[in-house]
């Protein structure tokens, strides 16, 4: 029954927010349309062009008439290419029936939750987290159980925390490694400890979002939990995609690899929503996996240089302290030194949201607040942008911070 206001929207949408990063990007676009110069660190999108051989494969697919529906789980060619990638790069054995392709990794995550959660089921999500995880869980009738994993533990969930968070209602644990927003990467030993906990709780499944796997720095190596504990394979879903490694954000191709029953359920939801992934984009994704991989290595090297430049620049901003992330292309600096500072207009910065708003207004620098990712007082900045932009942004932030009246040290 509709309420007396006649609203058409479902009650569950009342607690759901638009994606903060997408909202921030919209704000940047609006300010630029007004004529303001904005230095943008908000969206995690490589500033690199999609490699030419991938674009050519997509264009050739269109020219060859690949403009019709494909199978809902993806073309056989792409699913076989993904199986080959997982075997070659990750040492994991999957066949095509255990792989489903979606319109981005985001769709795979959402559909996996929608296919598996009953009302009140719990999902353990370490914080800081990618902004969409909790809202996706809530939209699917689940309860997000957020476990703070702070800077003192390098922003990683511990085995003790996981054991304490699991209840009889726990359905999933979600791990994002390398992590957005912190860049944290779980080691083999850390994953071993988490897997040991999961072995004791056979009703709990593990979802791993590994979309930043190719971007790790300083000798760090990405490890998938399935490499650590094969016995958990039948209750694990590996999620990945093409947006980050191959600069294919707009092509919207992601995938999941997991047990046949879950893959079949995800595919069922695709048949009733998007029908299938984009045909030409799937052909381009095959070329991405089977073509030269030098583009990925070059992107990782470039991001590594940008990481060092951004960390160095942020540590020169008064009140900001930034550690080197191990992976992805984000930094998550602590801005506690700016909490309590007063602007020239007499406004006191009380939260990291205030700090983010101040840098946008006073410095023309757009970045994300840590609160949106479940932890404060932090900011998130993407270094998937040029060295010139990084230098200009850090200088503008430093100048703006110097104009503040900082709170006295405790």
Domain that holds residue 354: 11-49+295-402
Three-class DSSP category at 73? coil
227 and 134 belong to one structural domain? yes
Sign for the CA dihedral angle at 258, 260, 261, 266 comes to positive
Domain end, chosen from 291, 309, 344, is at 291
Let me know whether 272 and 325 are in one domain: no
Work out the percent of the chain whose per-residue pLDDT is above 90.
Answer: 90
Peptide bond into 128 cis (omega under 30): yes
| pLDDT at 375 (0 to 100) | 98
Note whether 106 and 217 are same-domain residues: yes
Final residue of a structural domain among 291, 325, 354: 291
155 shares its domain with 276: yes
In this structure, are 301 and 344 located in the same domain? yes
Let me know if residue 325 belongs to a domain: yes
pLDDT band at 8 (very low <50, low <70, confident <90, very high): confident
Residue 271, in any domain of the structure: yes
Indicate if 215 and 179 belong to the same structural domain. yes
Model confidence at 1: pLDDT above 50: no
Whether 142 and 282 map to the same domain: the answer is: yes
Q: Give the whole-angstrom CA distance, residue 330 versus residue 335.
A: 15
Of 6-10, 108-112, 290-294, 332-336, the poorest mean pLDDT is in 6-10
Assign 117 a pLDDT band (cuts: 50, 70, 90).
very high
Q: What DSSP line would sit under 102-123, residue for residue?
A: ESSHHHHHHHHHHHHPPTT-EE
Cα–Cα distances (Å) from 140 to 119, 147, 387, in that order, read 8, 20, 41
Same domain, 79 and 161: yes
Whether 3 shows a pLDDT value over 70: the answer reads no
Q: Would you state the pLDDT for residue 406?
A: 83
Asked whether residue 407 is domain-assigned, the answer is: no
pLDDT of residue 283: 98
pLDDT at 4: 57
Residues 127 and 255 in one domain: yes
The answer on pLDDT for 407 being more than 80 is no
Contact 233, 265 (CB under 8 A): no
According to the 3-state scheme, what is the secondary structure of 142-162? Answer: CEEEEEECCHHHCCCCCHHHH
Domain annotation covers residue 192: yes
Q: What is the dihedral of CA 30, 31, 37, 41, to 10 degrees?
A: -70
Domain boundary among 254, 274, 291: 291
Residues 203, 109, single domain; the answer is: yes
Mean pLDDT rounded to a whole number for the chain: 96
CATH number of residue 386's parent domain: 3.90.1150.10
Measured in residues, the chain has a length of: 410
**Count of domains in the chain?**
2
Report pLDDT digits (tens) over 340-376: 999 999 999 999 999 999 999 999 999 999 999 999 9
Tell me: pLDDT of 281 over 50: yes
Q: Are residues 114 and 62 in the same domain?
A: yes
The tally of CA atoms less than 13 A away on the side-chain side of residue 366 is 23
Which pLDDT does position 5 carry in this prediction?
61
Query: Which pLDDT band holds residue 7 (cuts at 50, 70, 90)?
Result: confident
3-state secondary structure of 380: strand
Please state, in angstroms and rounded to a whole number, the distance separating the CA atoms of residues 281 and 57: 9
Which tens digit of pLDDT belongs to each residue from 240-251? Answer: 999 999 999 999
> In this structure, what token pair is assigned to residue 214?
């190719």
pLDDT of 11 strictly over 90: no
Q: What is the pLDDT of residues 75-110, one digit of tens each?
A: 999 999 999 999 999 999 999 999 999 999 999 999
pLDDT at 32: 86
Q: What is the CATH number of the domain that holds 194?
A: 3.40.640.10
Tell me if 249 is assigned to some domain: yes
Q: How many CB atoms are closer than 10 A to CB 157?
A: 25
Q: Tell me whether residue 410 is in a domain.
A: no
Are residues 299 and 346 part of one domain?
yes
In a domain, 80, yes or no: yes
Nearest to 150 by CA among 388, 376, 410: 376
294 burial level (CB within 10 Å; 0-12, 13-18, 19+)? exposed
More confident residue, 289 or 5: 289
Domain membership flag for residue 147: yes
CA gap 206, 213 in Å, rounded = 17
């Amino acid at each position: 029954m509709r309420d007396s206001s006649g609203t058409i929207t479902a009650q569950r949408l009342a607690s759901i927010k638009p994606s903060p990063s997408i909202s921030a990007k919209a704000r940047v676009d609006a300010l630029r349309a007004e004529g303001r110069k904005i230095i943008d660190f908000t969206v995690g999108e490589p500033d690199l062009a999609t490699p030419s051989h991938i674009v050519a494969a997509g264009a050739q697919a269109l020219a060859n008439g690949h403009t019709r529906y494909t199978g809902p789980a993806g073309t056989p060619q792409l699913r076989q290419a993904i199986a080959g990638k997982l075997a070659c790069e990750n040492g994991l054995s999957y066949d095509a029936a255990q792989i489903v392709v979606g319109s981005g990794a985001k769709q795979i995550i959402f559909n996996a939750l929608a296919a598996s959660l009953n009302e009140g089921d719990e999902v353990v999500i370490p914080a800081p987290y990618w902004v969409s995880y909790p809202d996706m869980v809530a939209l699917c009738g689940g309860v997000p159980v957020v476990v703070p994993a702070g800077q003192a533990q390098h922003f990683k969930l511990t085995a003790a925390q996981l054991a304490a968070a699991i209840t009889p209602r726990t359905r999933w644990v979600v791990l994002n490694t390398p992590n957005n927003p912190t860049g944290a990467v779980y080691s083999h030993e850390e994953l071993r400890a988490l897997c040991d906990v999961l072995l004791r709780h056979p009703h709990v499944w593990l979802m791993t979002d590994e979309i930043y796997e190719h971007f790790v720095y300083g000798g760090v190596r990405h490890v998938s939990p399935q490499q650590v504990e094969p016995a958990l394979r039948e209750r694990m879903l590996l999620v990945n995609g093409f947006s980050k490694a191959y600069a294919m954000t707009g092509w919207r191709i992601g995938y999941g690899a997991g047990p046949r029953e879950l893959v079949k359920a995800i595919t069922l939801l695709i048949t009733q929503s998007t029908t299938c992934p984009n045909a030409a984009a799937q052909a381009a994704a095959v070329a991405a996996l089977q073509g030269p991989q030098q583009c990925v290595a070059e992107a990782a090297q470039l991001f590594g240089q940008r990481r060092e430049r951004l960390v160095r620049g942020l540590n020169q901003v008064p009140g900001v302290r930034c550690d080197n992330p191990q992976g992805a292309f984000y930094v998550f600096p602590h801005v506690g030194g700016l909490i309590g500072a007063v602007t020239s207009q007499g406004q006191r910065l009380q939260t990291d949201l205030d700090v983010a708003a101040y840098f946008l207004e006073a410095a023309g620098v757009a970045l994300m607040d840590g609160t949106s990712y479940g932890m404060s007082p932090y900011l998130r900045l993407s270094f998937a942008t040029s060295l010139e932009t990084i230098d200009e942004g850090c200088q503008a932030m430093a100048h703006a911070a110097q104009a503040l009246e900082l709170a006295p040290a405790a």
